[in-house]
Amino acid sequence: MNKQLLGELISEAVAIFIIIAFGDSVACMYVLYDPSPYLNSYWGVCMAWGLSVTLAIYVTGSVSGTHANPAVTLALAMFRRFSWKKVVPYWVAQVVGAFVGASIVYLLFSPVIDHFNQTHQLTREAGGAAGVFFTHPGLAITPMHALVDQVVLTAFLIFGIFAITEQYNEAAPSANSGALIIGLLVATIGASMGYLEAWAINPARDFGPRLFAFFAGWGSSALPSPHDYWWIPIVGPLIGGVVGGAAYQWLIYPFLPARQRARDELRMDTGEQLAATPPR
């Protein structure tokens, strides 16, 4: 492994470590305290998740581009010429970073988790306080409906990321503010659709903490989880990432005026070069 790739993998692990350290911590604040400081201000939870993404991008974007999400990595490989050789290493680094992020949350909040479970006569094995680490279906949501939800939510995410980061999109934010807009996109998805199943929209964000919780005493309530739910926040976002990326590439990208101008200029330059080439 060369030094550049090693740096990119460390960057990806650090990025999602930041996201989980702050994001799962705000989940602890929301779930474990009574009354919850976010009881009537759910938008604050969404903003904490979104700003954790923004911070991760500012910290690591110059090294790896801050995918911090296997669905993003897959979509970039399919539509933005990201190297397929790096896809699986990026995925592994992302899961590792999420696992370590969950361990930090546990270090901080384990006494509060135990107090919550004791107060509510719950156990880890039965899933007590598991929701602070990983996602599960909300009110009236079946696992198969959750799969569809995750496809749709992640499609919105990738569609938005492609638009925000597209070089030919003249309406996109500048490089320094793009991270903030992506964070607000994550927050908006959570604020509008997050109660469906806690808006995983990221296989590593769910699986890394879920794997940690499995080893930290939650056992089968984490893996495979009730109704074998564990695979849905993995498969759904991966499919959704492809759908969202394809939607942008097919519906918006071909019609961007700046892209068309660049193609016209390239044709003119090519034509001038051909005209200037003496016949043989």
> Following DSSP, what letter does each residue of 111-170 receive, concatenated?
HHHHHHHHHTT--TTTTTTGGGTS----TT--HHHHHHHHHHHHHHHHHHHHHHH-TT-T
CATH number at residue 267: 1.20.1080.10
Structural domain contains residue 280? no
Q: Which two tokens stand for residue 44?
A: 């604050």
pLDDT tens-digit map of 247-256: 999 999 999 9
Residue 18 domain-assigned? yes
**Would residue 277 count as lying in a domain?**
no
Count other Cβ atoms within 10 Å, centred on residue 250. 10
88: in domain = yes
- Say if 94 falls within a structural domain: yes
- Residue 274 pLDDT > 70, yes or no? no
pLDDT higher than threshold 70 for residue 231? yes
Res 195 pLDDT > 80: yes
Q: Pick the closest to residue 98 from 133, 123, 122 (CA basis).
A: 133
> Could you give the maximum distance between any two Cα atoms of the chain, in Å?
89
Chain segment 87-137, per-residue pLDDT in tens: 999 999 999 999 999 999 999 999 999 999 999 999 999 999 999 999 999
172 found inside a domain = yes
The model's confidence at residue 267, banded by pLDDT at 50, 70 and 90, is: confident
Domain carrying residue 45: 3-271
Which tens digits make up the pLDDT trace of 51-74? 999 999 999 999 999 999 999 999
pLDDT, tens digit (0-9, with 9 covering 90-100), for 12-41: 999 999 999 999 999 999 999 999 999 889
- Residue 264: the pLDDT is 86
How far is residue 202's CA from residue 208's CA, in Å, rounded to a whole number? 10
CA distance 230 to 137: 11
Give the model's confidence band at 279: pLDDT under 50 very low, under 70 low, under 90 confident, else very high. low
Q: Is residue 279 situated within a structural domain?
A: no
Please count the structural domains in the chain. Answer: 1
Predicted TM-score (pTM) of this structure: 0.94
Percent of the chain with pLDDT strictly greater than 90: 91
Cα 269 versus chain centre, distance: 40
In a domain, 276, yes or no: no
Are the C-beta atoms of 23 and 52 separated by less than 8 Å?
yes
